[in-house]
Amino acid sequence: MGFRDLIADFKLQWGVHPDGHKSLTSERPIESMPLPERLVLPLAQHIGAPARPVVAPGERVLRGQRLAEPVGMVSSAVHAPTSGRIADIGDYPVPHPSGLAAAALVLLPDGLDEPVAFEPCEDPHSLEADEIARRVAAGGVVGLGGATFPAAVKLGLGKRNPVHTLLLNGGECEPYLSCDDRTMRERPQAVVDGARLMARALGAQAVVIGIERNKPAAIAAVQLAASGHPEVSVRALPVRYPMGSEKQLVAYLTGVEVPAGGLSAEVGVVVHNVGTAAEVSRVLRTGEPLTHRALTVSGAAISRPANLRVAIGTSVADIIAHCGGVRRDVARYVMGGPMMGMLLPGTDVPVVKGSSGVLSLTSEEAGGGSASACIRCARCAGVCPIGLQPFEMAARIRAGRAEAAVDLGLKDCIGCGSCAYTCPAKIPLSHYFSYAKGSLAAAERSRLKNESIKKLTAARSERLAREAREKAEAAARRKAEREAAKRRAAEAAAGEAAEERREVPQVSA
Amino acid sequence: MLIAVTSLTLIATCLGLILGIAARRFHVEPPELVSELEAMLPGSQCGQCGFPGCNGAAEALADGLAPVTLCPPGGPALALALADKLGVQVELGAMGEREPTIAAVREDICIGCTKCFKECPTDAIHGAMKQMHSVMKEACTGCGKCAEICPTEAVTLVPVAATLGNWRWREPAFA
Amino acid sequence: MTTPVHAPHAHDGGSVGRVMRLVMLALLPVTLWGFYLFGWPAIWLWLITVGSAMLFELVCLRVSGRGGPTILRDGSAALAGWLLALTLPPWSPWWIAVIGSFVAICIAKHAYGGLGQNPFNPAMVARVALLISFPLEMTQWVAPAPLFSGTGPDAIEALERLLFSSPIPDALTSATLLGHVKTEASRGVDLLASVPSFGAAAADGIGRHAGSIGETGSWLILAGGLFLISRRVIGWHVPVAVLAGLCVPAMLAHGLDPAHHLSARHHLFAGAAMLGAFFIATDLVTSPATVTGRLLYGLAIGFLSWVIRSFAGFPEGFAFAVLLMNACVPIIDRFTRPRIYGHGATDGRAA
């Protein structure tokens, strides 16, 4: 650890040190889990528009076949993890805190695992930048750290802003999770290779791989793999949560802050997860799309904690059964890490591209308890990596003034949960912020709807006026016609009468 | 003692008088307030607020006779905007959590009389004579005028279905 | 549909009750030392203050319909009573303790909405209210009459004395150093004469001199405070700033005019400075939430205490200084908000 690191560490004021629980799984190599009987593949496994299915129910599909295509600029394709038959396309429970169902494809594997013809690439480093991004997009790669932003879109960021550095996030600061650690130890070549490919796509000259100091084996492995590549450097990160948050990583490794509301690319930096890098390397070299991912199965309640490579679409219930089921009362099933992961309403939900972990937590691990009054200890402000004052924001939100919380920086909140983790009064601070962000978004939606309704109403009254006018005009026209007709009739009658009059004398004569 | 009481009383009286006169003298009734308020309202004249149309609602708001939360289609966003405009505090409590509703046509009962879409203030109902009518979700304000006029009660107001797109976290329960 | 549980699905295990218990633990040594120094009257007084504070808390919570006895478990009422007891003259009558608890809990705390809502430190509000309302009783100091030494009353006698408010025997009445020099100064005796006449005990920090129950054992208070800082219950900012705000002007003034200004050492050890710096000014609810704010707040408290002690009519000014600065906390907080990441500076340095 160099002097520069020491200074940087000392300056770090934020963050918490949650109990890591990493030893449950960190020495367990990633094992492949056998295919389950049914795979459920949600169409929205990424940030952006849901993919559009390109297969029909009943159709037989092959491994690696594209099942749904991206829609619009920010979207990602979905591929078949194995060969089989599409049983249904409809709404199925997805990993979401609401427990709602959403559009998904159901694939019943036929056990043959017959692949489509892939196009391997011997030397992907000779590909053009655009071609790398195109193949990454075609492979359906999204950010595997949990944010699930389509990787190819992020690789295109170099076009708008010059990107000088690609940061690879090997922090894995969430407790329990060790799949990134294992990936770096087992596939360091793929991580470095993928990072170099992404740097090429971005036009970045340097790659910095940041790994927390609690993973010495990973640091050594990646350093060894990077030894032949002078543009790739490995930096050890202090162990604290949320070191792996993009903003924190950028500030720590480059000394530059990402502007509020902006992208890291604006300061010439793009961040990718190490798992994503390994997948990018595999996708480009083999031509096989992203259909499996490594994840950590852990928690005190699980019988056999493990790191698994599972087919996307495998249900949480199948994974837990594969790991020997649970041996204690499970208070919460969590997808992702405990700090930011979501509580699963049930185990009948599939693993998606962004699922980094499946945790079965006992009530002692999950913490919580009923909230009490804030004592203004300001611990939340001390740990906030962004420099917010969570207790002040929560007090305003509680009083129904979400907009006042925005003035205090609600929109800068990264939702890391450090504040709620450390709050002695157990106030659900993160929940308050999600609630306020949600109600502000809903208010914005209703404002937009109001505006469009106002336009509709205006259009309607204009239409009604036009119709009335047309009606009036038509009526006037008809009246005029009627009158004209009447006039003509009257004239005709008058003429006849005149003639008659002329005739009358003749008659009388 | 007496001097103090008298002088304070005098000062208070004088200041009170000045304030009173100033209030009358410089009283400005912003004439454009009503029209500005009306421009903020949805303008669908749905009448859910209990006032005759959006103009009536705007007048009531300007006179302080109606709460800023009066407009259900406008929702909390409008209430906040109105409160901001009028400089009042807003209590969104009941309003924020009110379930939004939307009109739905029951296909088996609809006789295609077109009464509802003539009534609809936002042209949210489509369909021709003797045909099934359908509701455009984006345009419906849930005002319920269609439901009132439907001769067969085929139009009902139903809660907007929760989707991943509109689902949001509720306010946490606090001990 | 019930609201699902939001992340994080982990907690560091801390609780409000734990915070309060740690503070009490830190107060224990100096409290026991106070009991030893001032004997049974102090023990009874402490019991009555803490007991009545808890009772009033219970009543207030019941009246406002906020739960039953389990809510006392957070310990905040006991702690407020405890702190108040430590600032009372050791041989005060029982009703001083009860009125003090009433003011602290019912008025200073619950009238503002209960735990976390009070702008002023409850113990200090109570102390100031007592000092202003009952100046005589609140300045009846006794010389230390340690337990087992036979100079003080035994348990029964002490209880009787407390309940019937018997006057303190002349042999035991004493004054605090700050009070003594103030009185002497009003008679025209300057510090060069009055300080030596008080004796050396006032400045050794051990506490063998008159004072309130918990303010004289300065070294034990320091130990408790360092314990709290090491357990991260309080930050170092407020105590350090308070002591600096008190000592720096004291040193300067003493250097310039030793006849009229006490030395920093006396300011530190003779009054409530230590107790106040580590246990009163650091009260979480009523102190600022930002680092800069805490430094400002502490400096101002220290400086105001020195000003009041040096120039005002009251010999001790810590409680007043704390209350004055409590009133400034909202404005301090507002103007010392930390910079939010990504705002203002994009080059990584503070704006």
Tell me the β-bridge partners of A106. Answer: A40, A88
Q: Determine phi and psi for A32, rounding to 5 degrees.
A: -85, 130
Candidate from C9, C115, C286 with C-beta closest to A361? C9
Out of A259, A267, A367, closest to residue C11 by CB:
A367
CATH topology for B33-96 is 3-methyladenine DNA Glycosylase II; Chain A, domain 3 (1.10.15)
Chain A nearest C-alpha distance from C54 (Å): 18
Q: Treating both helix axes as pointing N-terminal to C-terminal, what angle do C318-335 and C291-311 enclose, rounded to 10 degrees?
A: 150
The minimal CB distance from A388 to the residues C5, C14, C340 is found for: C340
What pLDDT is stored for residue C1 in this prediction?
A: 41
Q: What number is the average pLDDT over the span A35-52?
A: 92
Is B139 in contact with A403 (Cβ distance < 8 A)? no
* Neighbour-count burial of A85, counting CB atoms closer than 10 A to its CB (0-12 exposed, 13-18 middle, 19+ buried): middle
Instruction: Check CB contact under 8 Å for B173 and C6.
Output: no
Q: What is the pLDDT of residue C47?
A: 95
- Distance, in Å, from the CA atom of B33 to the CA atom of A336, rounded to the nearest integer, reads 52
Q: Which of A476-480, B43-47, C68-72 has the highest mean pLDDT?
A: A476-480
Interface test with C, best of A22, A257, A396 (most C CBs within 10 A): A257
Interface contact A267, partner C, CB < 8 A? yes
Q: Which chains touch C (3 or more CB pairs under 8 A)?
A: A, B
pLDDT of residue C197: 80
Q: CB contact, 8 Å: C3 with chain B? A: yes
Contacts of A248 (CB under 8 A, 6+ apart): A14, A15, A242, A385
Confidence of residue A189 (pLDDT cuts 50, 70, 90): very high
Out of B44, B92, B96, closest to residue A457 by CB: B44
* Residue A507: band (very low, low, confident or very high) from pLDDT cuts 50, 70, 90: very low
Cβ neighbors of B35 (< 8 A, separation 6 or more) are: B58
Sign for the pseudo-dihedral over CA of A386, A390, A392, A393: positive
Touching C: B residues 141-170, CB under 8 Å: 169-170
Q: What is the CATH number of domain B101-159?
A: 3.30.70.20
CA distances from C3 to A15, A91, A441, B101 (A): 28, 22, 18, 21
- The pLDDT score that the predictor gives to residue A200 is 93
Q: Delimit the domains of chain B by residue range.
A: 33-96, 101-159
Higher pLDDT, A490 or A286: A286
> Please, which residues bridge with residue A87 across strands?
none
Q: Residue A136 — very low, low, confident or very high, per pLDDT cuts 50/70/90?
A: very high
Chain B hits for A445, Cβ within 8 Å: 166
Q: Which comes out higher in pLDDT, residue C204 or A420?
A: A420
Question: Cα separation of A447 and A456, whole Å?
Answer: 14
Q: Residue A296: which H helix or E strand, with range?
A: strand A292-298
For residue A2, the model assigns a pLDDT of 60
- Residue C129 token pair: 């209210």
Residue in the block written with tokens 């004249």: B45
Residue A450 has pLDDT above 80, yes or no: no
In b/e form, how buried is each residue of A123-137, taking b as 16+ CB within 10 angstroms? ebeebebeebbbbbb
**Contact assessment for residue A234 and residue A211, using Cβ atoms and an 8 Å cutoff:** yes
- C-alpha C306/C-alpha C242 separation (Å) is 10
Distance from CA of C16 to the nearest CA of A (A): 5
Count CA atoms closer than 13 A to C38's CA, side-chain side: 34
Look up residue B119 and give its two tokens: 């009534």
Amino acid at B140: C
Of all residues in chain C, the one with the smallest CA distance to A263 is: C342
Nearest Cα neighbor of A361 from A174, A170, A133 is A174
Q: Is B172 on the interface with C (CB under 8 A)?
A: yes
Pairwise CA distance, residues C228 & C278, whole Å: 9
C341 contact residues in A (CB cutoff 8 A) = 247, 251, 257-258, 260, 385-387, 412
Q: How far is Cα A113 from Cα A111, in angstroms, rounded to an integer?
A: 6
The alpha-carbon gap from C6 to the nearest alpha carbon of chain B, in Å, equals: 9
**Inter-chain CB proximity C16 and A372 less than 8 Å:** yes
Do A435 and B169 count as a contact with CB atoms less than 8 A apart? yes
Domains and CATH numbers, chain A: 1-31+121-286 (3.40.50.11540), 377-509 (no CATH)
- ipTM value: 0.87
Q: Bigger pLDDT: C33 or B126?
A: C33
Report the pLDDT value the prediction gives residue A10, as an integer from 0 to 100.
Answer: 67
* Residue of higher predicted confidence among A63 and C143: A63
CA distance A20 to A170: 15
- For an interface test with A, which of B84, B122, B145, B170 has the most A Cβ atoms less than 10 Å from its Cβ? B122
Q: What integer best gives the mean pLDDT of chain B?
A: 79
Digitized pLDDT (tens) for each residue of chain C, 351 residues in all: 456 889 899 999 888 889 999 999 999 999 999 999 998 999 999 999 999 999 999 999 888 887 655 666 788 899 999 999 999 999 899 999 999 999 999 999 999 988 889 999 999 999 999 999 999 888 888 888 888 877 778 888 888 888 887 777 777 788 888 888 888 888 888 888 888 887 777 777 788 888 898 888 899 999 999 999 999 899 999 999 999 999 999 999 999 999 889 999 889 988 889 999 999 999 999 999 999 999 999 999 999 999 999 998 888 889 999 999 999 999 999 999 988 998 875 444 333
A69, A77 Cβ separation under 8 angstroms = yes
pLDDT above 70 as % of chain A: 95
Residues from chain B contacting residue A372 (CB–CB below 8 Å): 175
CB pairs under 8 A between B and C: 7
Residue ranges of chain B whose CB lies within 8 Å of a chain A CB: 42-45, 73-78, 80-81, 90-93, 96, 121-124, 138-139, 141, 162-164, 166-172, 174-175
- At A3, the pLDDT band (50, 70, 90 cuts) reads low
pLDDT attached to residue C241? 97
Q: Could you say which DSSP state residue C4 is in?
A: P
Q: Considering only CB atoms, which chain A residues are within 8 Å of C346?
A: 256-257, 259, 267
Say which residue, A3 or B93, is predicted with more confidence. Answer: A3
Distance from CA of A455 to the nearest CA of B (A): 9
Contacts of B94 in chain A (CB under 8 A): none
A65 has a pLDDT exceeding 70: yes
Question: Which of A266-270, B158-162, C234-238 has the weakest average pLDDT?
Answer: B158-162
Q: Measure in Å the smallest separation between the Cα of C133 and chain A Cα atoms.
A: 30
Structure tokens at A478: 């008809």
Contact between A442 and B168 using a beta-carbon 8 Å cutoff: yes
pLDDT for res C236: 94
CB pairs under 8 A between A and B: 99
Please, how many CA atoms are within 13 Å of residue B145, restricted to the half-sphere of its CB? Answer: 22
Distance CA(B32)–CA(B34), nearest Å, equals 6
What pLDDT does residue B131 have?
67
Q: What is the separation, in whole angstroms, between the first and last Cα of chain B?
A: 54
With an 8 Å Cβ cutoff, are A446 and B77 in contact?
yes
Name every chain B residue with its beta carbon within 8 A of the beta carbon of A44: 164
- Residue in this structure with the two tokens 């619009």, named with its chain if needed: A72
Terminal alpha carbon distance of chain C: 46
- Give the count of Cβ contacts less than 8 A between chain A and C: 160
Q: How far is CA A191 from CA A145, A208, A224, A268, C36, in A?
A: 14, 12, 12, 21, 68
Beta partners for residue A294, in sequence order: A309
| Coil, helix or strand at residue A150 | strand
Mean pLDDT of chain A: 89
A388 CB within 8 Å of a chain C CB: yes
> Which chain B residue has its CA at the smallest distance from C4's CA?
B169
Q: Kindly state the tokens that stand for A167.
A: 């940061």
* Backbone torsions φ then ψ of A31, nearest 5 degrees: -110, 150
> Nearest by CB to A259, which of C11, C74, C346?
C346
The DSSP secondary structure of chain B, one letter per residue, reads: -HHHHHHHHHHHHHHHHHHHHHHHHT----TTHHHHHHHHS------TTSSSHHHHHHHHHHTT-S-GGG-TTTHHHHHHHHHHHHT-----HHHHTPPPEEEEE-TTT-----HHHHH-TT--EE--TTS--EE-TTT-----HHHHH-TT--EEEEEPPP-TTT--PPPPP--
